[in-house]
Structure 1
């Protein structure tokens, strides 16, 4: 298996952060359009987050954003225990404190990396 290059890995992280940073209404519409569950937003981040430290080492990501990336990971992990199923309902995107915190952090990272947080939500292909 070929390891994706750093620009591809950076794009995955930026797209994952874009999904996290979007307004709750835009997130919900994206989920419906692609026919996926709310956890897909977090899963996209989890896949990209695994590569973040390598991106910093390669100079593709500023090291200052790692604190915020880790905090996003902590928040999402904390939301994932068995007693928090309601936090993954689509409605929770607009009402849950965790989602609001993740949104704020993702926006801060995107501003640091791109100069603005509003980006088009990524298109995905779902294989069923």
Structure 2
């Protein structure tokens, strides 16, 4: 099995942040287009976040963004605790404070990396 390159891992992280940073309406359309559930946004970030520290160590990601990435991880991880099943419904993207916070921090993280956060979400391949 081949180990993903640093540029591939960085791209996955940036793309997960782009989806997370998008407005709720855009996220809803993206989820519908790809036929995936709301939690896929959090799962994509989780997978990519696990590769962030090595990217910083390799100089492929600015170290200043790690605090923001950790904050997003805490917010998304905390969303699974307690009695908040409605936050994982698509309407939760609009109404849940945790989604709002994760979106805000994702935008802040993208600024030093990209100079802005793109409004066009990446395409994904869904394996069913």
1:23 corresponds in structure 2 to 23
1:125 Cα deviation after fit: 1.3
Which one is further off, 102-111 or 80-89? 80-89
- Runs of 4+ in structure 1 displaced over 4 angstroms? none
Normalising by structure 1, report the TM-score: 0.97
Structure 1 residue 35 and structure 2 residue 18: aligned?
no
- Note the C-alpha offset of 1:122: 1.1
Q: Which whole-Å CA distance do the structure 1 matches of 2:118 and 2:100 have between them?
A: 16
User: Alpha-carbon deviation of 1:83?
Assistant: 2.0
Q: Which residue in 1 is equivalent to 2:6?
A: 6
Aligned with 1:72: secondary structure? helix
Task: Provide structure 2 residue ranges, at least 5 long, that are not aligned to the other structure.
Answer: none
Aligned-residue offset at 1:81: 2.4
Aligned to 2:46: 46
Alignment of 1:1-128 (within 5 A): 1-81=1-81, 83-128=83-128
Alignment gaps of 5+ in structure 1? none
